[in-house]
């Protein structure tokens, strides 16, 4: 479905991604885990076309989107929930959600709005509220709703749990599973290894802009290096 092949990204003269390749299959949840500054957000932005890759391919269902405008992605079935929600704070919740369907017809948008509110019913009473005045958790719901309004086949989620309470983390995890069960593939990034790999079918470990490890969620959680560095556990057999 979505293939990132040999992606390099530079910020000015500084290279931040090196030969990154990832794959998101239809109906999969795939996570990108890594420490701060490892380039996780840049991977998602490069996939979405918000940051230009200096080398490599972004292929969605056989079509190479690399070098094409970011505005094309929602039309092709890819959308993103940006880090820290990034809502349009002075607009209403309804306007924020509707803008997610910017590239679609009114009829399509209205249909998808019903579907989105079915998945996120808690948003219904807040539709006329100003988005910037909602709590962090509610704002994350709006951001997810906005992302879903493009009716994506693959949804990118940049640090979806950042700044949320433990209860909201559980809620957002459940919503991600629900979305996935409805046929939407998800590529998300997260710093917390346990959260990241427990939620995903497959995962990638990114360090200093390079993919250093990949495997199924279970394999990643059981990998000695992940256990030692990211889960704070001693590898079996260690002294």
Partner 1 sequence: MSWLIEIILNGLITGSIYALVGSGIALVYGTTRVLNFAHGELIMIAGYLVLFFSVTLGWNVWLASFLTLVMVAGAGALLQRATIAPLLARDDWAFRVIAATIGLSIFLQSGAQLVWGEQFRTLPYFFNGVAVIGDVRMPWQRIAILVIALLIMAASALVLYRTPLGRMVRATAQDAEAALAVGIPSGLVHTAVFAISAVLAGAGAILLSPLVSVNPWMGVAYLLKGFAVVILGGLGSFGGAVAAGFLLGLIESFGVAFAPTEWRDVISFTFLIAVIWVRPNGLFAGRGA
Which residues contact partner 1 (rule: CB under 8 A)?
A: 11-12, 48, 50, 69-75, 79-80, 82, 86-91, 95, 99-100, 102-103, 146, 150
**CB 46 to partner 1: min, Å:** 13
Phi/psi for 86 (5° steps) reads 50, 50
The DSSP code for 234 is P
CB nearer partner 1, residue 109 or residue 193: 109
Sign, CA dihedral 145-146-147-150, equals positive
Sign, CA dihedral 61-63-66-68, equals negative
CB nearer partner 1, residue 99 or residue 195: 99
**CB 130 to partner 1: min, Å:** 11
CB nearer partner 1, residue 42 or residue 79: 79
Residue 167 to residues 88, 161, 172, 236, Cα–Cα distance (Å): 25, 11, 9, 32
Q: Is 36 helix (H, G, I), strand (E, B) or coil?
A: coil
CB nearer partner 1, residue 115 or residue 233: 115
**CB 166 to partner 1: min, Å:** 27
d(CA 70, CA 49): 4
**CB 139 to partner 1: min, Å:** 12
């Amino acid at each position: 479905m979505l293939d990132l092949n040999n992606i390099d990204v530079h910020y000015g003269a500084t290279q931040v991604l090196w030969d990154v390749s990832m794959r998101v299959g239809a109906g999969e949840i795939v996570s990108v885990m890594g420490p701060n500054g490892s380039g996780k957000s840049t991977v998602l932005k490069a996939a979405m076309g918000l940051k230009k890759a200096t080398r490599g391919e972004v292929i969605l269902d056989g079509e190479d989107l690399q070098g094409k405008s970011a505005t094309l992605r929602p039309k092709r079935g890819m959308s993103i929930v940006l880090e820290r929600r990034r809502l349009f704070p002075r607009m209403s919740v309804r306007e924020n959600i509707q803008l997610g369907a910017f590239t679609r017809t009114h009829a399509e948008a209205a249909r998808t709005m019903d579907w989105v509110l079915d998945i996120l019913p808690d948003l219904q009473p807040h539709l006329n509220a100003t988005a910037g005045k909602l709590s962090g958790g509610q704002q994350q719901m709006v951001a997810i709703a906005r992302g879903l309004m493009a009716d994506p086949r693959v949804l990118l989620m940049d640090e979806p749990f950042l700044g949320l309470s433990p209860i909201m983390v559980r809620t957002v995890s459940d919503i991600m599973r629900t979305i996935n069960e409805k046929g939407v593939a998800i590529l998300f990034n997260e710093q917390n290894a346990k959260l990241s790999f427990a939620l995903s079918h497959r995962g990638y470990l990114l360090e200093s802009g390079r993919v250093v490890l990949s495997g199924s969620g279970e394999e990643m959680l059981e990998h000695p290096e992940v256990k030692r560095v990211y889960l704070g556990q001693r590898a079996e057999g260690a002294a």
